[in-house]
Amino acid sequence: MPVTARLAERAGAIGLFGAALFNEPLIAAFNGAVAGIPALFLYVFGVWALLIALLAGLMIRAPAPPPDAVEPRDGEPRDGEPRNGDARSGGG
Amino acid sequence: MPAGWALFGVGVLYLMSLFAVAWWGERRAREGRSLLRYPAVYALSIAVYCTSWTFYGSVGRAAETGLGFLPIYLGPTLGFCLGWMAFRKILAVAKAQRITSIADFIAARYGKSQSLGAMVALIAVVGTVPYIALQLKAVTASVEAMTIETGAGLLGDTALGVAAVLAAFAVLFGARHIDATEHHEGVVVAIAFESAIKLVAFLAVGFFVVYGMYDGLADVFTRAAANPGLARLMTFEAARPGWVTLTVLAAAAIFCLPRQFQVTVVGCVDENHLRTATWAFPLYLLAINIFVLPIALAGLMEFPDGFVPPDTFVLALPLSQDATGLALLVFLGGLSASTAMVIMATIALGGMVCNDVVMPSLLRATPERLARMPDVTRLLLRIRRFAMVGVLALGYGYYRLLDGSYALVSIGLVSFAAAAQFAPVLLGAVFWRGGTRRGAMAGLAAGFVVWLYTLFLPSFTRDSGFEMALFGLEILNPYALGGVDLADPITHSLIWSWLANIGFFVGVSLFDRPSMIEKTQATLFVEALRHDEAQDTGYFSGAARYGALKALAERFVGPGPARRAFAAHARGRPLDDDAFADAPAVRMTERLIAGSIGAASARAAIASAVRREGASGQELLNLLDETTQVMEYSRQLEAKSRALEEATAELRAANRRLTELDRMKDEFLSTVSHELRTPLTSIRAFTELMRDEPEMSVIQREEFLDIVIRETERLTRLINQVLDIAKMESGRMQWRIETVDLRDIVRDATASARSLFVAPGATLEVALPDRPAMANVDRDRLYQVVVNLVSNARKFIPDAGGLVRVTLAAGARGVWEVSVADNGPGVAPDQRELVFDRFHQAATEGGNPTGTGLGLAISRMILDHLGGRIWVAETTQGGADFRFSVPAAA
């Protein structure tokens, strides 16, 4: 599953990046205010937004996974297991 | 200020709309337009993470620590990134093994152990109870804040009422059908709906405070900065205590909280939704947190005297501005945050208690009664509902016991720390093959005990000022074990409990000997993404009969689903109830039941059926015996068929040879008959001529008679040669091999052939060596060969000046070589081999071929027999040079 492995690696890298940015010493360096708004506030939410943007870019641009997306609970078609066809009717 | 009854009405109305949303969600699902297809719904359902702790408590914490509330939301963002692979693996395993809860997951990984499952379930219940209490407290507090004038008296016990309504909701929508892996669509849709409500409500109050009461963010911050006490909240100094701990704790919680596991893992209909959730969920967290600090600052500025608890600022601020409508919306947002969490947690815990605590005891205590019960699903549902109500009751009880001074966040963190105990075994489950059942149990137990002592128990006594230390020993101070003071109680507890947890987990696992099933499950979990087909172990074909399996499945999942599952498994083949089920069928049944009662219980149930119905030892031995015989038999068959194949090949080759010989014989016969007819025809023609013309002159007649005699001789020769060939081919030729001097043979043969050279001017020369040329040959046959070659040569040389030279000499490698060379037209290179074919006639210029066309063929056969060879040699000065060689006698 190379696609998943690569995704996991990159997501992990983003996580490490974020962990570094959200911790001392970097985070303690932001004091004072910019245009009335505390620099720390701007920094934390800015980094957070950046991480989310990176993640979204990573996940959206990743190659499309195999389409088993349509049916909910398309459980185990692999070895002829019951496909739980009653998952939806079970709601009644 | 809204009146109490109005508030009550709005609350009830909201909860009823929740019922409506759930009902709508289930209807859409029934119509095949499930809302769970949408990744956004999945992401929103994960936002059940944001409870009233987020909604009310964050502002409260921000009022004390500034940005110190944030790690709880940064943690999940980082956790999703760093734990992405873990999530993917957990999702894949959960799907393949039909995992129903976190207890089920951990139990399944460590050998489908019932005791481990029960342990996890109990820790989860104890750990979640404070969290549920927190929600009840928050709802009560919000009601009190709203009805500060009328008082709570009108509503009686708010918390009890809320708990009752939530219990009803959970029971109605959370225990509809027995298979916990099937999604309670209504609940998930309602949860997602509530996530949307709370976000909208919080953003609304944020905008109201920042842009209604103040002039935007900068205004709030600037005015707060004027106050030194508030300015402190805008620095990292205020947030530092516990910053790292809380981030780690929250990152773990996103995996380990039972309700998060429920919505993220069990509730995942499509593993690819995780991709969307990876960024959409953090985005949700960012949105719901962006106004927290401004609201807290505004609250602190608005209510500087401290009479209003910061936890209720979100309500108090709109109320202070007489924005009753907005306050109601906020109230509903808080209510939705609480109810969503309580519902999800109740469902998750109810399922766990039922599957991992009650069912195993029932299976063990009263297997007979259970076996007699035709349909266990009803019983299961009832147990599950009781468990849900029980969990809620525990939450309510804890709420009553809890002293009122606790801040919301502190209570929630107690729960987080309990859930964090699952993190080592959960991550170990998918990354470390070496983790064993005993290791997991030891680790969990150790971590849980430390948590209990350092965090849970002190929460009851904190208000009294009594620092509970066992035996009054400072070394056992629950907030400073070993007398070491570690920042805050949460950090302290987390460090010590994880130390114990991981230490025991790893240590015991390393010195443990895992059972077969533990090893198998470990491989399945760790290599979840590599193995497509999860091969379960432990069962062999013939362990149970189809009928028994079917009956078992019907009792645990109901007749309909069981029938469908078995029909799907049969794939059209008829399944005989009395026939032994194959291993995949047993596995399928186990997984089917696992969806309803959990992996560990399912294994126990199957094991009991297999024991009762399984093959006895003797049967197995017989089976083995039979198999051995069959194998032996098949080996013999193989050998036989190999021999047959060889024989067939030989026969085929022989047949081919025979066919070829037959064809050659036919060809030979037709050629021979043709050759015989030629002289006969001419004999007949000349004799007829002589008979029909009596006046023929004597000279003429003699001439004709000469021809007749010549043709007759030719005929005789031909027949003799054909007979020779036939004899030699059939091996009936009599050979008289003796050691002779080749010189004699050549001398005799040339002497007899010399008659041919008498009249015309042709010459025959013979060159013989001085010493004897001895060889083991048949004198007559070799003589025949020499005569044949010399007479052949004579035929092709001109009458005048023709020359034939016969030479006998020693050849290379111990052979005697005889050469018969002439000065005739020679043999074309491409003809040199063909001349030895039968009936090959060199085209002589004009006239009748005089030879039979068999002489050279016979010569070759003779020499082949004598171990020599015959060929036409290359010549440089024209003419033919026929040579043959025979081995010299030693």
pLDDT at B463: 47
Burial class (CB in 10 A: 0-12, 13-18, 19+), A24: exposed
- Whether chain A has a CB inside 8 Å of the CB on B550: the answer is no
B-chain CB neighbours of A16 within 8 Å are: 81-82
**Bridge-based pairing state of the strands A33-34 and A37-38:** antiparallel
- Whether chain A has a CB inside 8 Å of the CB on B218: the answer is yes
Q: Above pLDDT 70, what percent of chain B?
A: 86
Q: Above pLDDT 90, what percent of chain B?
A: 11
Task: Give the separation between CA B702 and CA B301, rounded to whole angstroms.
Answer: 161
Q: Do B84 and A7 touch (CB under 8 A)?
A: yes
Q: Do B81 and A35 touch (CB under 8 A)?
A: no
- Whether chain A has a CB inside 8 Å of the CB on B23: the answer is no
Query: In this structure, what token pair is assigned to residue A71?
Result: 């049916």
- Whether chain A has a CB inside 8 Å of the CB on B74: the answer is yes
The residue-averaged pLDDT of B474-478 equals 64
Query: In this structure, what token pair is assigned to residue B289?
Result: 């947190």
Q: What is the C-alpha end-to-end distance of chain B, expressed in Å? A: 139
- Considering only CB atoms, B270 lies closest to which of A37, A56, A68, namely A68
Interval B63-90: pLDDT, tens: 888 888 899 999 999 998 998 888 888 8
Q: What are phi and psi of B888, to 5 degrees?
A: -75, 145
Task: Give the separation between CA B34 and CA B459, rounded to whole angstroms.
Answer: 43
> Where are any strands of DSSP class E within B341-383?
none
Write the CA distances from B198 to B194, B332, B648, B781, integer angstroms.
Answer: 6, 8, 85, 121
Examine residue B458 and say whether the peptide bond preceding it is cis (omega within 30 degrees of 0): no
* Contact yes or no for B358/B383 (Cβ under 8 A): yes
Q: Do A56 and B221 touch (CB under 8 A)?
A: no
* Contact yes or no for B312/B141 (Cβ under 8 A): yes
Task: Give the separation between CA B120 and CA B125, rounded to whole angstroms.
Answer: 9
- Whether chain A has a CB inside 8 Å of the CB on B596: the answer is no
Residue of B nearest to A20 (CA): B78
- Considering only CB atoms, A52 lies closest to which of B279, B560, B584, namely B279
Q: Do A23 and B78 touch (CB under 8 A)?
A: no
Q: What are phi and psi of B465, to 5 degrees?
A: 80, 0
Q: What are phi and psi of B709, to 5 degrees?
A: -65, -40
Q: What are phi and psi of B773, to 5 degrees?
A: -110, 90
B-chain CB neighbours of A65 within 8 Å are: 271-272, 275
Q: Do B81 and A11 touch (CB under 8 A)?
A: yes
Q: Do A90 and B222 touch (CB under 8 A)?
A: no
Q: Do B30 and A19 touch (CB under 8 A)?
A: no
B-chain CB neighbours of A1 within 8 Å are: 529-530
B797 contact partners, CB below 8 Å, separation of at least 6: B762, B803, B804, B822, B823, B824
Residue of A nearest to B185 (CA): A91
B-chain CB neighbours of A37 within 8 Å are: 217-218, 221
Write the CA distances from B63 to B47, B69, B96, B245, B407, integer angstroms.
Answer: 24, 9, 46, 20, 12
**Between residues A74 and B715, which one has the greater pLDDT?**
B715
Q: Is the pLDDT of residue B432 over 60?
A: yes
- Whether chain A has a CB inside 8 Å of the CB on B269: the answer is yes
- Model confidence band, residue B27 (pLDDT cutoffs 50, 70, 90): confident
Cα maximum dimension of chain B: 173
- Provide the shortest C-alpha distance from residue B179 to chain A (in Å): 9
- Whether chain A has a CB inside 8 Å of the CB on B568: the answer is yes
A-chain CB neighbours of B95 within 8 Å are: 75-76
Interval B41-69: pLDDT, tens: 889 999 988 888 888 888 988 888 888 88
Beta bridge partners, B887, equal B815
* Contact yes or no for B60/B310 (Cβ under 8 A): yes
Write the CA distances from B213 to B74, B316, B497, B865, integer angstroms.
Answer: 29, 13, 45, 127
Query: In which residue ranges of chain A is pLDDT below 70?
Result: 1-2, 64-92
Q: Is the pLDDT of residue B850 over 70?
A: no
Residue of B nearest to A67 (CA): B272
The residue-averaged pLDDT of B747-758 equals 80
DSSP B15-78: HHHHHHHHHHHHHHHHTT--GGGSHHHHHHHHGGG--HIIIIIHHHHHHHHGGGGTHHHHHHHH
pLDDT at A46: 93
- Provide the shortest C-alpha distance from residue B68 to chain A (in Å): 12
The residue-averaged pLDDT of B812-841 equals 80
Cβ within 8 Å of A, B 489-548: 529-530, 532-533
Amino acid at B363: L
pTM score = 0.65
- Model confidence band, residue B275 (pLDDT cutoffs 50, 70, 90): confident
pLDDT at B21: 87
CA angle B629/B632/B635 to nearest 5° reads 150
Query: Which strands form B869-872's sheet, in the order they lie side by side?
Result: B763-767, B803-810, B815-822, B881-887, B869-872
Cβ within 8 Å of A, B 381-410: none
* Contact yes or no for B221/A45 (Cβ under 8 A): no
B-chain CB neighbours of A4 within 8 Å are: 85, 88, 529
The residue-averaged pLDDT of B400-416 equals 73
pLDDT at A89: 36
Q: What is the count of residue pairs from A and B with beta carbons less than 8 Å apart?
A: 193
Whether ipTM > 0.90 holds is: no
Long-range CB contact pairs, B508-512, < 8 A, 24+: B508/B436, B508/B438, B508/B439, B508/B442, B508/B443, B509/B428, B509/B432, B509/B434, B509/B435, B509/B436, B509/B438, B509/B439, B509/B440, B510/B434, B510/B439, B512/B436, B512/B437, B512/B438, B512/B439
* Contact yes or no for B869/B863 (Cβ under 8 A): yes
Instruction: Name which of B146-150, B538-542, B816-820 the model is least confident about.
Output: B538-542
Q: Do A52 and B282 touch (CB under 8 A)?
A: yes
Considering only CA atoms, which of B770, B700, B671, B728 is closest in space to residue B866?
A: B728
Considering only CA atoms, which of B272, B649, B787, B876 is closest in space to residue A60?
A: B272
Cβ within 8 Å of A, B 163-192: 176-177, 179, 181-183, 185-186
- Considering only CB atoms, B84 lies closest to which of A11, A28, A33, namely A11
Instruction: State which H helix or E strand residue B504 sits in.
Output: helix B489-510
Write the CA distances from A8 to A3, A11, B79, B254, B283, integer angstroms.
Answer: 9, 5, 12, 17, 19
pLDDT at B845: 43
Q: Is the pLDDT of residue B787 over 60?
A: yes
- Provide the shortest C-alpha distance from residue B278 to chain A (in Å): 7
Q: Is the pLDDT of residue B736 over 90?
A: no
Instruction: State which H helix or E strand residue B817 sits in.
Output: strand B815-822
pLDDT at B182: 56
Q: Do A82 and B95 touch (CB under 8 A)?
A: no
* Contact yes or no for B360/B601 (Cβ under 8 A): yes
DSSP B628-657: HHHHHHHHHHHHHHHHHHHHHHHHHHHHHH
Task: Give the separation between CA B402 and CA B430, rounded to whole angstroms.
Answer: 37
- Whether chain A has a CB inside 8 Å of the CB on B225: the answer is yes
Top mean pLDDT of B114-123, B578-587, B870-879 is at B114-123
Interval B659-702: pLDDT, tens: 888 887 788 788 778 778 888 888 888 888 888 888 888 888 88
A-chain CB neighbours of B81 within 8 Å are: 11-12, 14-16, 18, 51, 55
pLDDT at B759: 62
Instruction: Name which of B86-100, B401-415, B441-455, B564-578 the model is least confident about.
Output: B401-415
Three-state DSSP class for B378? helix
DSSP B702-749: HHHHHHHHHHHHHHHHHHHHHHHHHHHHHT-----EEEEEHHHHHHHH
A-chain CB neighbours of B569 within 8 Å are: 80-82
pLDDT at B147: 73
Considering only CA atoms, which of A84, A7, A11 is closest in space to residue B79?
A: A11
Interval B164-200: pLDDT, tens: 877 887 777 666 665 555 567 788 888 899 999 999 9
Instruction: Name which of B73-82, B153-162, B214-223 the model is least confident about.
Output: B153-162
Average pLDDT, chain B: 81
Q: Do A41 and B80 touch (CB under 8 A)?
A: no
Q: Do A16 and B532 touch (CB under 8 A)?
A: no
pLDDT at B847: 43
pLDDT at A68: 43
Q: Is the pLDDT of residue B2 over 60?
A: no
- Provide the shortest C-alpha distance from residue A15 to chain B (in Å): 5
Q: Do B286 and A12 touch (CB under 8 A)?
A: no
pLDDT at B18: 83
Interval B316-343: pLDDT, tens: 888 888 888 888 888 888 888 888 888 8
Q: Is the pLDDT of residue B598 over 50?
A: yes
* Contact yes or no for B43/B212 (Cβ under 8 A): no
- Whether chain A has a CB inside 8 Å of the CB on B570: the answer is no
Task: Give the separation between CA B355 and CA B854, rounded to whole angstroms.
Answer: 102
Select from B279, B285, B291, B293 the residue whose CB has the most chain A CBs within 10 Å, as the one to mutate to test that interface: B279
Q: Do B185 and A91 touch (CB under 8 A)?
A: yes
Amino acid at B98: R
